[in-house]
């Protein structure tokens, strides 16, 4: 499987070592040496995975990560850093990172993590599942507990984005950007479609899967 990756790392010696190893492993790499350049590349090019150092000039890795998520970019992001304290990890995950690898690391482990992340939201998967909710991207059918659900195109798109992100919540602004681009409709439109989606996905069943986290976003996740 072809993987196109962006590495944002200001340590040139480390960047060269990583790029050479990844390319031997069949992974194509673009490289940026500062956070602003990395952000610009990630917003204008398609990547399967992004590797972000945290301590970067111009914009740090967490700022880049948060900026990408605010723009609706769902590319899996792996943070590479020497900061191994729990608050640093939590801050990275809060910014929208998918994984975290502390320097120094084994290059073989890095490749394994990249390959795993590239499958998460790369579109390679043909089936999404959260609990008993199943979305078949090949047949364009969605079911819950074996019961076929009928969704409008917008509700389908909303559910797909939410299931790809699961269990992480998706900010409302990112959902609007994904569905309607740079010109989202009025603020009530998303609420209307989410009401319809909840009616189809949750109302006929005993346990809700769609949850609103005030100030955070919307999440598809089973709760005990």
HEC string for 168-205: CCECHHHHHHHHHCCCCCCHHHHHHHHHHHHHHHCCCC
Tell me if the pTM is above 0.75. Answer: no
Spatial neighbors of 206 by CB under 8 A, at least 6 apart, are none
Spatial neighbors of 36 by CB under 8 A, at least 6 apart, are 58, 59
Residue 91, Cβ density class (10 Å: 0-12 exposed, 13-18 middle, ≥19 buried):
middle
* Closest to 73 (Cα-Cα) out of 29, 28, 121: 121
Q: How far apart are CA 69 and CA 211, in angstroms?
A: 19
What letter does residue 123 receive in the DSSP assignment? Answer: S
Q: How far apart are CA 11 and CA 22, in angstroms?
A: 16
Q: Which residues partner with 49 through β-bridges?
A: 5
CATH numbers and ranges of domains, the chain? 3-120 (3.40.50.2300), 127-220 (1.10.10.10)
pLDDT at 224: 59
H helices present in the chain, as ranges? 12-24, 35-44, 61-70, 86-95, 107-120, 153-165, 172-180, 187-201
Three-state DSSP class for 221? coil
**Digitized pLDDT (tens) for each residue of the chain, 224 residues in all:** 578 999 999 999 999 999 999 999 999 999 999 999 999 999 888 788 999 999 999 999 999 998 888 776 778 899 998 887 888 888 888 888 888 899 989 999 999 999 888 876 544 456 788 899 999 877 889 999 999 999 998 999 999 889 888 888 889 888 888 788 777 777 789 999 999 999 999 999 999 999 999 999 999 999 85
């Amino acid at each position: 499987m072809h993987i196109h990756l962006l590495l944002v790392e200001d340590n040139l010696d480390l960047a060269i070592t990583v790029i050479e190893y990844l390319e031997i492993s069949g992974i194509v790499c673009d490289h940026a040496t500062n956070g602003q350049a990395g952000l610009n590349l990630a917003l204008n090019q398609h990547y399967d995975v992004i590797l972000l150092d945290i301590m970067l000039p111009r914009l740090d890795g967490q700022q880049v990560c948060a900026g990408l998520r605010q723009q609706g970019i769902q590319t899996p992001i792996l943070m590479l850093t020497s900061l191994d304290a729990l608050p640093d990890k939590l801050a990275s995950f809060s910014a929208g990172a998918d994984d975290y690898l502390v320097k120094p690391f084994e290059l073989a482990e890095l490749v394994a993590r990249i390959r795993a992340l590239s499958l998460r939201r790369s579109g390679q998967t043909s089936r999404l599942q959260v609990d008993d909710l199943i979305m078949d991207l090949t047949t364009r059918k969605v079911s819950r507990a074996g019961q076929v659900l009928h969704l409008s195109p917008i509700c389908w798109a909303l559910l797909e984005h939410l299931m790809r992100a699961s269990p992480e919540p998706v900010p409302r602004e990112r959902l609007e950007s994904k569905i309607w681009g740079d010109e989202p409709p009025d603020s009530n439109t998303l609420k209307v479609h989410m009401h319809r989606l909840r009616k189809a996905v949750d109302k006929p069943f005993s346990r809700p899967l769609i949850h609103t986290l005030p100030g955070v976003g919307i999440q598809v996740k089973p709760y005990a």
